[in-house]
Amino acid sequence: MIARLVPGCSVAAKAEIIRHIEGQGLRVHVGDSGTSTVVSIIGNPSPRLADELQALSGVDSVTLEAPSYPLVSLDSQPGPSVVKVDSVSFGDTPVVVIAGPCSVESSEQLNTIARSVASSGAVMLRGGAFKPRTSPYSFQGLGVEGLELLHDAGSGNGLKVVSECVAPEDVAVMVEHVDMIQIGARNMQNFRLLSAVGEQPKPVLLKRGLMSTIDEFLLAAEYIMSSGNPRVVMCERGIRSFDTSTRSTLDISAVPVLKEMTHLPVIIDPSHAAGRRSLVPSLAAAGVAAGADGLIVEVHNQPDQALSDGAQSLTLDGFADSMKTIANVAGALGRSVALL
Ligand code: PEP
Ligand code: MN
**pTM higher than the cut 0.85:** yes
Ligand number with the minimum distance to the CA of 306 = 2
So what's the pLDDT on residue 76? 82
262 burial level (CB within 10 Å; 0-12, 13-18, 19+): buried
| Ligand 2: centre distance to CA 166 (Å) | 14
pLDDT above 80: residue 33: no
| Ligand 1: centre distance to CA 182 (Å) | 9
CA–CA separation, 111 and 108 (whole Å): 5
Instruction: Looking at the CA of residue 308, tell me the nearest atom of ligand 1.
Output: 3
Ligand 1 binding residues, C-beta < 6 A: 102, 128, 132, 184-186, 207, 237, 269, 272
Ligand 1: residue of 142, 186, 248 to mutate (most ligand atoms within 8 A of CB) is: 186
**Mean per-residue pLDDT for 145-159?**
98
| Ligand 2: centre distance to CA 103 (Å) | 7
Contacts of the segment 61-67: beta carbons below 8 A, 24+ positions apart: 61/3, 61/4, 62/1, 62/2, 62/3, 62/4, 63/1, 63/2, 63/3, 63/4, 64/1, 66/1, 66/2, 66/40, 66/41
In angstroms, the first-to-last Cα distance of the chain is: 42
272-305 pLDDT, tens digit each: 999 999 999 999 999 999 999 999 999 999 999 9
**Residues of the chain with pLDDT > 70: what percent?**
100
pLDDT band at residue 77, thresholds of 50, 70 and 90? confident
CA–CA separation, 125 and 162 (whole Å): 6
pLDDT band at residue 32, thresholds of 50, 70 and 90? confident
What are the CA-CA distances from residue 63 to residues 46, 75, 152, 215, 316 (Å)? 13, 10, 50, 20, 52
